Structure 1
Amino acid sequence: MTNAPLIDLRDTTKKYDDGPPALAGVTLSVASGECVAILGHSGSGKSTLLNLIAGLDRPSSGSVTVDGTRVDRLGEAGSAKYRRASIGMIFQFFNLLDDLTVLDNVMVPAQLAGMGKGEAKRRVIELLGSLGIDRHVKAYPQRLSGGQRQRVAVARALMNKPALLLADEPTGALDSSSAEDVRRLLLDLNSEGQTILLVTHDVQLAASTARRTIELVDGAVERDVINYGNGAGLAARTPPTRQTGAVG
């Protein structure tokens, strides 16, 4: 048994050119079972952080470890395998394939991972049932509401039972009612033990969904706080570690 965090970044910096870094010496950890929101305005470094954790990019210095894997040391093939095995991702604009049914969209990750068709189909039906959209299994995405499409995207993200669910502005393209449905869905998933990293610029969504909020400013951690009472109050977790002179 180990108490190692699920996500562990150590002095992680990312530079894209000769200017200030997009991410500036960030050190943070996320425990298994946590729901953590990464908050910040455009250019704060949120997307860079997400890409490093997802293995879509490599840091210029420092380390990125997720679920025991040194993600920063992986090659292209290793990164793809890591994402299939350990990461589920949901996005603002769903990223569903319009020419595939709901069933086939959700099955894509399983097919890429080599899961048998029968097993994959059973897993899809189980997920869609738990998310309340099993009646749409034969529908095409364009026939669904925004909230329903996001639920399909969540099912797809959970298909391979990932250790970590990355949610990148998951309510940004939804009306208020659908956004509330997705927020409650994330809360339910976390209550069942799913580790979630929620990336958003929406302070209210962060405070009402995550138990902890990490705010990035200019590529560095400005504050790291615990959200009490579903976001009703905030209490300091760690002192600010912001480094100046960086841009996201």
Structure 2
Amino acid sequence: MTYVIELAGAAKRYDSAGPPALGPIDLSVAQGEALAVTGPSGSGKSTLLNLVAGLDKPTGGAVTVAGRRVDQLSEHGLARFRREQIGIVFQFFNLLDDLTVADNIQLPAQLTGTTRKKTAARAAELMEVLGIAQHARAYPGRLSGGERQRVAVARALVNKPALLLADEPTGALDTASGHDVRELLVDLHRGGQTIVLVTHDLALAQDCASRTIHLVDGHLAADSRAQAVR
């Protein structure tokens, strides 16, 4: 079995006097798996996501993503690794308002040195698949929340990452838009994309994930697998 994520005794402590924000924790996520990370506020969900994304370094243990020890990479190496191997979808989209939809999607690919012709072709493919091709020349501010999140997903997928991280991807959306993004995550998982989804929404986890872990006080309290994603 191929693992996209392997945490071995990974821990993060922000305050030497207090308890760790996370861990130590052992966790492996297989290729093609959709993992939901749940737990109350302060349980370590965001810390876990940041360690996997290389946005933060552990104070103990090892973090391996797509075969690379991300905790041992330099800042420059981490930035390059994230661009090539990790796509991140945030709660509040983080799109650039002065760029069109197409340009927002293409930007990460252009930063890796991919030619404009190839990035344009990949962006067009994703916009068609995600149902936003008609908005290619529009600016994010003119789109609905659900449409902006689809743009954010396309941007995250433009480099064909080994791993898609989604941090509360429906948290800022209305019910209808949230349902659209939920269906999108299900489709991506069915297509073989490895996903780690951080959410407070247990229904979202149940619908989108093949496996759910629950964190409490920085520790793994439960780990369950779904029989099937609908």
Per-residue CA distance 1:43-76 (angstroms, 9 max, x = gap): 0000100000000111001000011000111110
Contact preservation (8 Å) 2:9, 2:26: yes
Stretches of structure 2 that go unaligned for 5 or more consecutive residues are none
Per-residue CA distance 1:105-148 (angstroms, 9 max, x = gap): 11110111111011111111111001011010000001000000
Give the match for residue 189 of structure 1. Answer: 188
Give the match for residue 4 of structure 2. Answer: 6
Task: Quote the Cα distance in structure 2 between the aligned partners of 1:129 and 1:5.
Answer: 30
Query: What's the TM-score once normalised by structure 2's chain length?
Result: 0.97
Task: Quote the Cα distance in structure 2 between the aligned partners of 1:192 and 1:208.
Answer: 15
Task: Quote the Cα distance in structure 1 between the aligned partners of 2:229 and 2:154.
Answer: 25
C-alpha spacing 1:229/1:33, structure 2 compared with 1 (3 Å) = closer
> Quick one: percent identity of the two aligned structures?
60
Q: Which secondary structure state, in structure 1, belongs to the residue aligned with residue 23 of structure 2?
A: strand
Give the match for residue 29 of structure 2. Answer: 30
The residue type paired with residue 93 of structure 2 is F
Contact preservation (8 Å) 2:11, 2:60: yes
Instruction: Flag as ranges the 4+ runs of structure 1 deviating above 4 A.
Output: none
Contact preservation (8 Å) 2:186, 2:207: no
Contact preservation (8 Å) 2:96, 2:104: yes
Give the match for residue 212 of structure 1. Answer: 211
Report deviation, 1:221.
Answer: 0.2
Alignment length, in residue pairs? Answer: 229
Give the match for residue 122 of structure 2. Answer: 123
Give the match for residue 161 of structure 1. Answer: 160
Report deviation, 1:204.
Answer: 1.2
Give the match for residue 238 of structure 1. Answer: none
Stretches of structure 1 that go unaligned for 5 or more consecutive residues are 232-248
Report deviation, 1:230.
Answer: 4.5
Task: Quote the Cα distance in structure 1 between the aligned partners of 2:225 and 2:119.
Answer: 38
- Tell me whether 1:139 sits opposite 2:138 in the alignment: yes
Task: Quote the Cα distance in structure 2 between the aligned partners of 1:75 and 1:62.
Answer: 17
Give the match for residue 59 of structure 1. Answer: 58
Report deviation, 1:227.
Answer: 2.0
Give the match for residue 108 of structure 1. Answer: 107
The residue type paired with residue 52 of structure 1 is L
Task: Quote the Cα distance in structure 2 between the aligned partners of 1:36 and 1:101.
Answer: 32
Task: Quote the Cα distance in structure 2 between the aligned partners of 1:225 and 1:4.
Answer: 19
From 2, 13, 23, give the equivalent of 1:15. Answer: 13
